[in-house]
A and B are shown apart, each in its own frame.
Chain A
Amino acid sequence: MGRYALRRLAVAVPLALAAATLVFALLETAPGSPADLWLGDRPLPPEVRARLEHAYGFDRPAPERYLRWLEAVCLHGELGWSSLRSMPVSRAIGIALPPTLLLGGAALLIHLALGLALGMWSASRRRRGREAVSLAAVVLYALPTFWLGLMAILLLAVAVPLFPPSSMASVGAEDWGTLRRAADVAWHAALPAIVLGAGSAAGLARFVRSGVLESMGQEFVRAARARGLARRQVLRAHVLRTALLPVVTLLGLSVPVLVSGSLVVEVVFAWPGMGRLTYDAIRAHDVPLVLGATLLATALVVVGNLAADLATAAVDPRVRLGRGAGGRT
């Protein structure tokens, strides 16, 4: 399993570079100069504009700029300089990562708790109850996150001001004690985490529900019931274990989203994380920052997939990993 994991991780390097190359090519297909984005409605004399383009390297051919970036990454381990944040890309990512991990972690907990609870509850109901929950889940899943976010702000931050409408901390929080500051951050994270977690929980609930229903009809469940086990005991000891196998895979696949951040939620709630960083970088045509975020996201997809495979192998005895095992069964 160790060799299998190493092999998968080694694949991450060329994969991430390939993704970055593709993203660079896409960014370069946009016509015009990035200086146009910077200058907006300000007309600059041509000589000043030319000087600016030269100083920032916009007048160099795209392949040359790409090779310079690649050289810095591969030979020096540097991701370049972010003109958007005026700091090294690695530092910009380092600043944006903790807020995203916090929000993503909280959202994941809500996602799991709500998804599991709803899925199991609906599976244990009679047909009408199941359909109602299923319909609600579909509606929730289909709602655009930005709309859900705006409605949450309108209802829970404006109409009934239970939560702050945006940002990560209150004004003046830096002067407070650690506990009060932690509580303040949790209060600010609650609404975006609910929006992020609840929206995706609907999808998980449908997975759990179908998994539980499928397992309930299996022979081993009937055998357990025939042996005299209580329904709840059967559910907990046999059905859930089988039904939750796909959930383990889903969790692994959630890792990239957890770390890359939710672009929409972070923008709507002014959360200073990776999603917003990437969004701002694309809008400002900050190529090194976009490429840095792409490298991170690609690496995380590989790691997340690997984690899903390893976790599935750990909990499902039918799955064998490694050479000759035939992969997942």
Chain B
Amino acid sequence: MSAHVIRSRGASGVVLAALALTALADCSTGGAPSPAPRPAGPVAGGTLVVGSPTDVDSWNEYLARQSFSAKILGLLYLRLAREVDGPHGGRDFEPGLAESWTFSADGRELTFRLRTADWSDGTRVTAEDVRFSWRAQTSPEVAWAGAAAKAAIRDVEVVDPRTVRFWFDRPYPFALADAVDGGILPEHVYGAVPFGEWRTHDWTQAARVTSGPFVLEEHDPAAEIRLARNPRYLAAPLPRLDRVVVRIVPDMGNLVTQTLSGAIDLVEGVPPRDAARVAAAPGVAIRAFDFPNYDYVGWNEERAPLGDAEIRRALTLAIDRRALVDEVLYGYGRVAAGPIPSAAWGFDADLEPWPYDPERARAILSARGFRPRPSDGMLERDGHPFSITLATNVGNEVRAACAVKIQAQLRRVGVAVDVLPPMEMRAFVSRNMAGDFDAYVGGWTFTSGRAELRTLFGSGSIPPDGFDVVRYRSAEVDALLDRADAAADSGTLRDAVRAVARRIHDDQPYTFLFETRRLAAVRDRVRGLRFDVPGDSLARLDEVWLAAVE
């Protein structure tokens, strides 16, 4: 937790305080402390080697699609402020390019005061850069995937070179979070290229003019990225590192091997099955951290008998989700209760996951008319067997393993499951969007820290109008979502989204399986690394230093 947290003033101060204090029970970040002895204090210098299976796909944040690209670009371009884990499991904001911010009394104006900061080429960072970045974020020609966060921002006004004001259509609890979403770009560099030409422009040179702790030194595609210390970084003498080198190695097994041999200092995304081996190795520790995600089984409500909420609840009761966490995630996860993950805003700690209770599941299915066949004990109703197909996407061994285990668990209550071979992602999504499935194992990650509810469960979001691929329809949920959209304060919003979560928990359009914890292998010499910026494990590299332990 940063000690430099500034709270906004004015009317929204209450909103922010409420946001910060929102309880996110058991949302711990960071993992077991490194076993190596702590040296006297931080030292400057050295090269940190980070391993990654993916490369940066664009040096322009608003064109990049890989989440890894966003993390690297986050080291180059500061935001106005940054959302971080707050006290009591809540969220807070710490200053970035802005030193302070104030809401107007009606909550429709948000004014930022910028810090005195320079781009790495010596040009002063101004409010014009902020306005330019907003124009880029909302440009249809740029087509930024995160543009939805800016939908309520009507205009961005340059008050003076160090003051910029955001005008909102309406007051709402996420106004600050949405305003600061996305890095601020240098207009004198990026503005030289019209938005219409952004997608076919090489941004490698532009990434050498930054405001963050590092500047791009060199990028050998598919091989290596070298970031050098930005001497004009506003938090000087940070960063402590002279250089960050990212080694691009497509195979995670190879990355883990190189970390164990000492060639790589930090790699994120270690498969749970490798965690024990890595943790047992000398000089390396496993750090686990939360991010807003869950995996689930989606039931097609238009396929009988899955349209019956009682039947779906029975299926959930028959699936041992704790066993999946233990056996597939090796304990690095938690059973999910509902559509709002524990690391997302609005999480309701009082909402308990359905228990594993195959006896109750059998009783429900029996009450719904399903009887075991004398020949093999499998269930049937009116001569029709209870038989479903279960699909998942290729390239995710956790989901493939889950599908097989779920097949065995449902068989124990008499439901026959035919697990289909994992499908190529496009084919998988296309099939689901068309409604051509019984059930599938899928997952969602919410990079914004807010669980999507309308897009996934609103009656108006049935494909192609959204991602309600399970065809879930609930007038109660729709009304609650309308209430959430109209909420001007976080209390109303929290109540509405929690009511949605409870309704969905009851109806079980998904069987919520688990939330995965992300694992990073870190060499002992890496010190000062914190994982308190949601979804960004590299955000604190400016504070990292290297100890002479090896």
Contact = CB atoms under 8 A, between A and B. Distances in A.
Contacts of B424: 30
A31 B257 contact: no
Nearest to B53: A270
Interface residues of B, number: 60
A157 B452 CA distance: 45
Contact of A42 (B245, B426, B445, B466): B445
Contacts of B430: 31-33, 36
Contacts of B218: 174
Contact of A85 (B47, B221, B257): B221
Contacts of A45: 148, 455, 466
Interface in A2-57: 30-34, 36-48, 51-52, 54-56
A285 B429 CA distance: 15
A276 B452 CA distance: 35
A55 B65 contact: no
Contacts of B170: none
A167 B224 contact: yes
A268 B461 CA distance: 42
B426 A33 contact: yes
A37 B425 contact: yes
A81 interface: yes
Interface string B209-222: 00000000010111
B254 A270 contact: yes
A216 to B, nearest CB: 46
Contact of A52 (B58, B143, B247): B143
Interface string B260-287: 0101000000000000000000000000
A86 interface: yes
B433 interface: yes
B293 A44 contact: no
Interface residues of A, number: 54
Interface stretch (A131-139, A158-166, A194-202, A249-257): A158-166
Contacts of B461: 46
Contacts of B466: 43, 45-46
Interface in B113-144: 140-143
Contacts of A277: 222
Contacts of B248: 270, 272
Given A32-B426, A48-B148, A276 B222 contact: yes
B59 A86 contact: yes
A290 B444 CA distance: 29
B465 to A, nearest CB: 5
Given A46-B464, A48-B147, A86 B223 contact: no
Given A37-B425, A46-B466, A81-B200, A169 B224 contact: yes
A42 B464 CA distance: 16
Interface in B278-333: 293
B57 interface: yes
A38 B65 contact: yes
A119 B429 CA distance: 51
B202 A86 contact: yes
A280 B224 CA distance: 16
Contact of B63 (A51, A86, A158, A166): A86
B347 to A, nearest CB: 18
Contacts of B47: 171-172
Contact of B433 (A32, A38, A83): A32
B459 interface: no
A268 B251 contact: yes
A158 B261 contact: yes
Interface string B183-195: 0000000000000
Given A32-B430, A166-B258, A44 B148 contact: yes
Interface in A52-88: 52, 54-56, 81, 83-87
B221 A95 contact: yes
B140 A165 contact: no
B145 A48 contact: yes
Contacts of B456: 43
Contacts of B263: 164-165, 171
B174 interface: no
B57 A85 contact: yes
A276 B53 CA distance: 13
A46 B456 CA distance: 11
Contact of B293 (A41, A158, A171): A41
B145 A39 contact: yes
Contact of B426 (A30, A44, A171): A30
A56 B443 contact: no
A280 B222 contact: yes
A270 B251 contact: yes
Interface string A88-126: 000010011000000000000000000000000000000
Among A32, A153, A285, the most chain B Cβ lie within 10 Å of the Cβ of A32
Among A32, A86, A169, the most chain B Cβ lie within 10 Å of the Cβ of A86
B220 A272 contact: yes
B475 interface: no
A34 B245 CA distance: 31
Contact of A167 (B142, B143, B223): B223
Among A52, A56, A81, A169, the most chain B Cβ lie within 10 Å of the Cβ of A52
A86 B57 contact: yes
A55 B199 contact: yes
Interface of B: 47, 49, 57-60, 63, 65, 140-143, 145, 147-148, 199-200, 202-203, 218, 220-224, 226, 245, 247-251, 254, 257-258, 261, 263, 293, 424-427, 429-431, 433, 442-447, 452, 455-456, 461, 464-467
Given A85-B57, A280-B222, 12 more contacts: A30-B427, A32-B433, A39-B145, A42-B446, A44-B145, A84-B57, A96-B222, A167-B223, A167-B247, A172-B47, A268-B254, A285-B426
8 contacts: A30-B426, A33-B426, A39-B145, A41-B445, A43-B466, A52-B143, A84-B57, A95-B220
